[in-house]
Amino acid sequence: MAKRAARKASNRKYLAFKGRMVMIGFGSIGHGVLPLILRHIGIKPGQITIIAEDARGGLPEVRRYGVEFIQKRLTRSNYRQTLAGRLGKGDFLVNLSVEVASTSLVELCQEKGALYIDTCIEPWPGGYTDPGLSVSRRSNYALRDTMLKLKPRYRGGPTAVIAHGANPGLVSHFVKQALVNLARDSGLKIAVPGTREGWGKLARRLGVRVIHIAERDTQVSPRPKEVGEFVNTWSIDGFVSEGSQPAEMGWGTHEKGLPFDGARHDFGCGAAIYLNRPGLVTRVRTWTPIEGPFHGFIITHNESISMADYYTLRDGDNITYRPTVHYAYHPCDQAIMSMHECAGKNLHQQKSQRLIVDEITEGRDELGVLLMGHQKGIYWYGSQLDIHEAREVTPYNNATSIQVCAPVLSGIIWALENPDRGIVEADEMDFERNLAISMPYLGPVVGKYGKWTPLEDRERLFPEDLDRDDPWQFKNFRVV
């Protein structure tokens, strides 16, 4: 059914766009999203300009489509001069870059009257790894807090969609659909909530205590990883950068204490904590339907904070409900070996990189949200896209990248349909509209129940100090 839907949607134009579109960065996601933009939006190639430090092997694609390509690295000193004459009222900036500050680009777009989208909140170089910054200030929590401070200033301005790829982005829409499905399957007759408070009340009523963004990538290449090489199915620079940040998670009201190296921030919304260690080496027990139980890594992402904040309920100054939320990611096996080597070099990235797309022979990316703590056990909802179907529905993608590119497309379309929303996070957008646009590219999208808990099969060989009366406390998720 998913394949038929993709073929049916393959040439649908959702709307026409008459302005200019500037794309910053042309890595794996830029390569993959460009044909989707041209396929589903009424736009001519001559309206599009790509600005990137290099084409990452994509120049033949750019030339075939007839899109202008400018080879240039954007910096603090040149980004305004480079972009100012290319952005005006009604134009669109698609930011798929690394190390170009999202807040600076958003402010420029607001001044120019241009719309904006990115897949994460990026800092200028050093924002992830400058040892002169405190651990707290190198966090996604801090990046998000800086972006949210701009929100009141630009309320009602051109729409700026913040952090809208697979995750963050698509997974926020998965959570809402999962809550609706869980309510239906629990026999609750409810209307789909229309407010932030309504969604929080639904999650609390269902008893959701923990949300994992649970992802297992099994795509494989027949070419082995070499010593001194980092291999991955998506942006290696982006992955290593976020893996070098502290492990972060939204912190639920059911948690009885902090992890031994956990800390709270002394600024911002207060919805999340961080650990005094990088996400690249911090593992957690999690579950997806096909893989079953596995160890994922708590790589920091914006959705870990934004979801926890969005679903928070308050009674005056008292917080009455908040779920624990974080990413639990097992990348492809060759990336695991790359991570191990990088961690052994104290997070100094290998000089050689290999992004695997065309050379992948088998595997899938199982990406979804795992809702836990409710009476039906656990519920996972998400995409189970394999490499062969990914290649059927669109070029220049693997199963991982298309799960990012499809919501980038849906976010662009949603922004064009809602052009005056100011700064917007994924949790605040229309989940049904974004899912409808993305679904044809996600392969099987399924919801599966299970009885797994993080205590399953523990203490089989070694005794542990576990609270079996409450398996949903974070201390039982950690792999120590």
pLDDT at 458: 86
Residues of the chain with CATH 3.40.50.720: 2-162
For domain 170-400+441-476, give the CATH number: 3.30.360.30
Enter the pTM of the model.
0.96
pLDDT at 164: 98
Q: Cα dist. 199→204, 208, 327, 432 in Å?
A: 9, 12, 20, 14
* Residue numbers of the chain with a pLDDT score lower than 70: 1-9, 474-480
pLDDT at 475: 62
pLDDT at 5: 45
How many Cβ atoms sit within 10 Å of the Cβ of residue 428? Answer: 15
For domain 2-162, give the CATH number: 3.40.50.720
Instruction: Count how many Cα atoms sit within 13 Å of the Cα of residue 132 in the half-sphere of its side chain.
Output: 3
Going 121 to 122 to 126 to 128, the CA torsion angle's sign is positive
Can you tell me the distance from the alpha carbon of 292 to that of 314, in angstroms, rounded to the nearest whole number?
Answer: 35
Place of tokens 């609706």: 180
pLDDT at 389: 96
pLDDT at 6: 45
pLDDT at 476: 55
